[in-house]
Amino acid sequence: MSPTQWDLPVELCCRPMAFVTLTGLDVVYNAVHRAVWDAFCANRRADRVPISFKVLPGDHEYPKCRPKRTSYEWYIPKGILKTGWMNKHLNLVPALVVVFYELDWDEPQWKEKQSECATRVEIVRQSLQGRNTKVAVVLIQKKTPLPPGEDVIASERAAALCNACELSGKSLFVLPHTDHLVGYIIRLENAFYEHAQTYYYTEIRRVKSHKEFLNKTTHQLLFVRHQFKIAFFSELKQDTQNALKNYRTAYNLVHELRAHETNILEIKTMAGFINYKICRLCFQHNTPLDAIAQFRKHIDLCKKKIGSAELSFEHAAWMSKQFQAFGDLFDEAIKLGLTAIQTQNPGFYYQQAAYYAQERKQLAKSLCNHEASIMYPNPDPLETQTGVLDFYGQRSWRQGILSFDLSDPEKEKVGVLAIQLKERNVAHSEIIITLLSNAVAQFKKYKCPRMKSHLMVQMGEEYYYAKDYTKALKLLDYVMCDYRSEGWWTLLTSILTTALKCSYLMAQLKDYITYSLELLGRASTLKDDQKSRIEKNLINVLMNESPDPEPDCDIFAVKTAQKLWADRISLAGSNIFTIGVQDFVPFVQCKAKFHAPSFHVDVPVEFDIYLKADCPHPIRFSKLCVSFNNQEYNQFCVIEEASKANEVLENPTQGKMCLVPGKTRKLLFKFVAKTEDVGKKIEITSVDLALGNETGRCVVLNWQGGGGDAASSQEALQAARSFKRRPKLPDNEVHWDSIIIQASTMIISRVPNISVHLRHEPPALTNEMYCLVVTVQSHEKTQIRDVKLTAGLKPGQDANLTQKTHVTLHGTELCDESYPALLTDIPVGDLHPGEQLEKMLYVRCGTVGSRMFLVYVSYLINITAEEKEIVCKCHKDETVTIETVFPFDVAVKFVSTKFEHLERVYADIPFLLMTDLLSASPWALTVVSSELQLAPSMTTVDQLESQVDNVVLQTGESASECFCLRCPSLGNVEGGVATGHYIISWKRTSAMENIPVIRTVITLPHVIVENIPLHVNADLPSFGRVRESLPVKYHLQNKTDFVQDVEISVEPSDAFMFSGLKQIRLRILPGTEQEMLYNFYPLMAGYQQLPSLNINLLRFPNFTNQLLRRFIPTSIFVKPQGRLMDDTSIAAA
């Protein structure tokens, strides 16, 4: 875009740099000069000093300096700032002029050269007459200079040259043309920079010196001008702090100026300039908050300074520019490292700029609506002699006039008219769209998706005004879904309305239909009259006619559109539009619902399609078809009405193809599922509803799945939450909200009509062949074929159970590991109606615990459903949980021959093994036999015969056996000595003859065998009698390999008198036996303690009497004397 009146001047926006001109360089023909120039200007990096260089011929004419004013008394300024001033000091008036001259110190023709150089300097000085511009001379030399002080000729000649040129020594430089050119150049330009700084310093002083001559009444403008100049020179001097300070003062001064309609533009222009400079410097100083505060202040001060009402669009344009410029500055600062935030980013400024641009457009539209006959004034009042204005912000037809009165109202009128006519040609929309798209880019960056959408809507609308409907539609379509998904229906409706206009004006059929569908829908907040107008248009379009134009459209655009629509009619071609409704909210709602979550294969699958229209008038549809995941069913679910195009309107309220607004229409479909689909899901993949027909235009609304559109899921949620009681409706009507979409159903097999019974006697006993009797009876009306039985452990249980459970059909043999846990598909044959069959199964459970058993019977049957013959596979299963328990508990104990409990047995001494078999089974058990298998270390004392053969045990009964055993001495065995196994052969008493006997092996416990040094046993009668002699013989056996010293004593007892050795000490040889004979004479009757025998082994102090008592009896029963004797004693008494 070419710069407009409102764009800020380039010289204002650039960074001011010291201006230095280089003369005497022939950069075109002289290679050395070219190299020097390149070194100055090529690849200037940021670390080089800020100077702008320019090569000029030595005799260049610089702008003339106006003669110094001696007094300001009669001087009246004509404006604030001249338009040329900034450019003059940036690009025309140098701070320093450098004269390049080729001269070596040993130049033979020194005199001539010296005077030529002096002449050149003089020429430059001439053209700078009156300015403070510095002059410097650079001698380009071929030779490398000697270190300072060594070259005597050089210092002499340098002094002479300075003298000739009237230069100070500081302004004469030598540039040896050697390898290190760039290094020399950098040193040179640093020196130039210092000179330039001095120059600008003096300029600032010069401007400041004017101040004292000014007075507040007539020189108000000059205050601003001088302040601005000081600030600008400070910037050139790179003193940004002072520049900022001075700009701030200047800004305050601008607002102190007396404002009037005639100069308000000038004031605003200058205020804008200075504000721009302040904000720019603030950002440069990294104080963005200061910049924002200044800008806010600026806007607040200037917002109301509209100026002439006829040109109020100028104010809007200016405001827009202010915001845009600030946005640009902000954005630039961000690029240089500033961080912006969501609520404070350049986007807001661009947005506001766009807002003012829109306002400008509005104002221009109302102020510049001149008739076409009004011609642009001639001569052009906006034309000036020079082509530019003298002062910023003044009117071209009254430049420099400070009076607030309009001297020439006619001229003023013409001028205003010219501006207004010019404004008419401005491409406002283009400006607005550019600003909006800038803002969009920013808001995208700062996570403001909704703001972005809003701006895009505005852009779309602006494109609409600019008649670029394609772009408008593209933008609007893009953001529509954001508003739809968040449920802001008012906003969506407004966007849709614009979009509908665009699509109408372009005669975009599909878009037009889509937007119409949604504007008629429940998400639209349009009034009913609008809706019915749209519906009428839609019906027209479907009947291949042109719709009526949308309201508030441009008349010319409508004319074009009408032509386009007419063309569309004549075009024969594809007139079917399929529109997926998932992403919007159309005016027809659809819900599909299977009657049940599953259907048996022998009954027809039924489902309803519910349709509801939200448009104001009834509408007729031409076709409805439902698609399934198995496409074979599609053919059964189509409703079609062969109607002519014009029937869309006729008889609208009748027939099932007609949708009455607000009423729910239910359509029932049914079909028979295929037997292959048993166990599968039937899913509705889409529902297609056609409006209109193929002879005209046809729209197919396509619902994915069982219906529902962009808004329906939220509605369903709300409806589910609601407690509201719905009013009662007639029987055949339903509440739309209460319909829940059910888009899929399962096809399951036919219900079996057979009975399966299981007969058995739980619990099962471990390892037995447990009998399970399966009875299958058919209750079907016809014969059933191919009956198969699957039975056994139900899969999916503990893996260990599978290995410990075995199933067989043959109970006569024990099954082993090779038998499976589940028998599958045992063919059973066919069954006639009412027939019954029985099958026996034997299960062997190796471990206790509960198991689930499955009995599954399947069969085939022929069925007629909906006049179709189908073969159904039916099955029935039964599961049963069977507990397995131990049949009996076996307890084993070791006792001494005295039946005393033994913790250990003694080598070579007989002991008893007692087994105790306690039945735990609830059913009677028959112990067929038992067997004791002794370990080799054990010997038996007598015969090992089973004592429990063919014993029947009821629950809780037990069977015991007793075996007398002896264990020879084995020495010390760790953990005891193995005893052997006890084997029980048993079966259920109730079991049949041919059922095998189960052998249960029980490992007997180990026993600890201990050696004893001395074994004592006693021979005594089983009872005594009072006053009758009782002979007792003790046998003492030495079990060791040593001779044993034994001390024996018998303690007296009150109940006995006795004869024999009372105390004795004797020796027993190894392996031999000693007998001790006593004669006890009982004195009292009853159970009496025998006189206790104490034995003390001198070698074995551990051998105690305690141990001894295990082997010998300690008491005896003494009977009283015979009755005869009693009688005599009584007689004696």
Partner 1 sequence: MAVCIAVIAKENYPLYIRSTPTENELKFHYMVHTSLDVVDEKISAMGKALVDQRELYLGLLYPTEDYKVYGYVTNSKVKFVMVVDSSNTALRDNEIRSMFRKLHNSYTDVMCNPFYNPGDRIQSSPGGPYFLCPIQSRWALLPVSDPVQVGPTPVSDPVQVSPTPCVRSSPGPLITW
Cβ distance 1063 to 1048 under 8 Å? yes
Q: How far is the CB of 721 from partner 1 (least distance, A)?
A: 6
Stretch near partner 1 under the rule CB under 8 A, chosen from 277-285, 710-718, 829-837, 941-949:
710-718
Distance CA 264, CA 393 (A): 9
Q: How far is the CB of 283 from partner 1 (least distance, A)?
A: 20
CA angle, 95 then 97 then 98, to 5°: 135
Site for partner 1 in 6-35 (CB under 8 A): none
Q: Give the DSSP H or E segment for 221.
A: helix 220-236
Tell me the two tokens of residue 497. 């309305």
Distance CA 696, CA 645 (A): 6
Contact string (CB under 8 A) for partner 1, positions 315-344, x = contact: ---------------------------xx-
For position 726 contacting partner 1 by CB under 8 A, the verdict is no
Tell me the two tokens of residue 666. 């239910």
Q: Which is nearer to partner 1, 136 or 585 (CB)?
A: 585
Q: Which is nearer to partner 1, 448 or 658 (CB)?
A: 448
Query: Tokens 């968040």 identify what position?
Result: 486
Q: Give the DSSP H or E segment for 542.
A: helix 528-542
Q: How far is the CB of 285 from partner 1 (least distance, A)?
A: 24
Stretch near partner 1 under the rule CB under 8 A, chosen from 715-723, 748-756, 902-910, 985-993:
715-723
Answer for which of 45, 721, 728, 1123 binds partner 1 (CB under 8 A) is 721
Stretch near partner 1 under the rule CB under 8 A, chosen from 211-219, 442-450, 697-705, 792-800:
442-450
Site for partner 1 in 109-148 (CB under 8 A): none
DSSP string, 20-87: EEEES--TTT-HHHHHHHHHHHTT--TTS--EEEEE--TTPPPPPPPPPPS--TT---S-SSBTTHHH
Answer for which of 209, 490, 955, 1003 binds partner 1 (CB under 8 A) is 490
Instruction: Say how many residues make up the chain.
Output: 1133
Q: How crowded is residue 1038: how many other Cβ atoms within 10 Å of its Cβ?
A: 21
For position 348 contacting partner 1 by CB under 8 A, the verdict is yes
Answer for which of 335, 552, 723, 1133 binds partner 1 (CB under 8 A) is 723
Stretch near partner 1 under the rule CB under 8 A, chosen from 498-506, 718-726, 794-802, 936-944:
718-726
Stretch near partner 1 under the rule CB under 8 A, chosen from 10-18, 441-449, 538-546, 972-980:
441-449
Site for partner 1 in 285-304 (CB under 8 A): 299
* Per rule CB under 8 A, count of chain residues that contact partner 1: 27
Crossing angle between the packed helical segments 489-506 and 509-520, to the nearest 10 degrees: 150
For position 736 contacting partner 1 by CB under 8 A, the verdict is no
Answer for which of 4, 144, 215, 718 binds partner 1 (CB under 8 A) is 718
Tell me the two tokens of residue 316. 């809007």
Q: How far is the CB of 333 from partner 1 (least distance, A)?
A: 20
Tell me the two tokens of residue 231. 């600030």
Q: Are strands 664-671 and 754-760 parallel, antiparallel or unpaired?
A: unpaired
Cβ distance 784 to 754 under 8 Å? yes
For position 352 contacting partner 1 by CB under 8 A, the verdict is yes
Q: Give the DSSP H or E segment for 504.
A: helix 489-506
Q: How far is the CB of 361 from partner 1 (least distance, A)?
A: 17
Taking only Cα atoms into account, the Rg of the chain, rounded to an integer number of angstroms, comes to 61
In 78-217, alpha helices (H) = 85-87, 110-127, 152-165, 181-211
Q: Which is nearer to partner 1, 491 or 747 (CB)?
A: 491
Q: Which is nearer to partner 1, 45 or 724 (CB)?
A: 724
For position 714 contacting partner 1 by CB under 8 A, the verdict is yes
Q: How far is the CB of 320 from partner 1 (least distance, A)?
A: 12
Q: How far is the CB of 729 from partner 1 (least distance, A)?
A: 18
Q: How far is the CB of 274 from partner 1 (least distance, A)?
A: 22
Q: How far is the CB of 872 from partner 1 (least distance, A)?
A: 47
Q: Are strands 619-628 and 598-600 parallel, antiparallel or unpaired?
A: unpaired
Nearest CA to 840 among 797, 765, 882, 789? 789
Estimate to the nearest angstrom the gap between the alpha carbon of 634 and the chain centroid. Answer: 38
Site for partner 1 in 494-513 (CB under 8 A): 494
Q: How far is the CB of 615 from partner 1 (least distance, A)?
A: 21
Tell me the two tokens of residue 1029. 């002699």
Query: Tokens 């308000």 identify what position?
Result: 264
Q: Which is nearer to partner 1, 343 or 818 (CB)?
A: 343
Q: How far is the CB of 498 from partner 1 (least distance, A)?
A: 11
Stretch near partner 1 under the rule CB under 8 A, chosen from 434-442, 717-725, 870-878, 974-982:
717-725
Q: Which is nearer to partner 1, 53 or 515 (CB)?
A: 515
Q: How far is the CB of 303 from partner 1 (least distance, A)?
A: 8
Question: DSSP character for 90?
Answer: I
Q: Which is nearer to partner 1, 237 or 298 (CB)?
A: 298
Longest dimension (CA), the chain: 195
Answer for which of 19, 283, 355, 565 binds partner 1 (CB under 8 A) is 355
Question: DSSP character for 341?
Answer: B
Q: Which is nearer to partner 1, 494 or 643 (CB)?
A: 494
Q: Which residues have a Cβ under 8 Å from the Cβ of 840 and sit 6 or more positions away? A: 771, 772, 773, 774, 809, 811
Q: Are strands 868-885 and 764-765 parallel, antiparallel or unpaired?
A: parallel
Q: Which is nearer to partner 1, 252 or 490 (CB)?
A: 490
Q: Which is nearer to partner 1, 448 or 857 (CB)?
A: 448
Burial class (CB in 10 A: 0-12, 13-18, 19+), 697: buried
Q: How crowded is residue 1019: how many other Cβ atoms within 10 Å of its Cβ?
A: 11
Q: Which is nearer to partner 1, 334 or 660 (CB)?
A: 334
Q: Which is nearer to partner 1, 343 or 1106 (CB)?
A: 343
Answer for which of 153, 576, 717, 871 binds partner 1 (CB under 8 A) is 717
Distance CA 515, CA 462 (A): 19
Q: How far is the CB of 491 from partner 1 (least distance, A)?
A: 6
HSE, CB side, 13 Å, CA atoms: give it for residue 448. Answer: 21
The three-state secondary structure class of 718 is helix
Answer for which of 119, 651, 722, 960 binds partner 1 (CB under 8 A) is 722
CA distances from 558 to 58, 500, 532, 553, 567 (A): 68, 13, 21, 7, 14
Cβ distance 962 to 942 under 8 Å? no
Burial class (CB in 10 A: 0-12, 13-18, 19+), 710: buried
Contact string (CB under 8 A) for partner 1, positions 444-463, x = contact: ---xxxxx--x--x------
For position 527 contacting partner 1 by CB under 8 A, the verdict is no
Stretch near partner 1 under the rule CB under 8 A, chosen from 154-162, 214-222, 545-553, 711-719:
711-719
For position 491 contacting partner 1 by CB under 8 A, the verdict is yes
Q: How far is the CB of 492 from partner 1 (least distance, A)?
A: 10
Tell me the two tokens of residue 180. 């290190």
Burial 226-248 (b: 16+ CB within 10 A, else e): bbbbbbbbbbbbbbbeebbbbbb
Q: Which is nearer to partner 1, 203 or 614 (CB)?
A: 614
Q: Which is nearer to partner 1, 203 or 709 (CB)?
A: 709
Q: How far is the CB of 447 from partner 1 (least distance, A)?
A: 6
Q: How far is the CB of 607 from partner 1 (least distance, A)?
A: 29
Tell whether the torsion through CA atoms of 578, 582, 588 and 591 is positive or negative: positive
Q: How far is the CB of 261 from partner 1 (least distance, A)?
A: 24
Q: Which residues bind partner 1 (CB under 8 A)?
A: 299, 342-343, 348, 352, 355, 447-451, 454, 457, 483, 486-488, 490-491, 494, 714, 717-718, 721-724
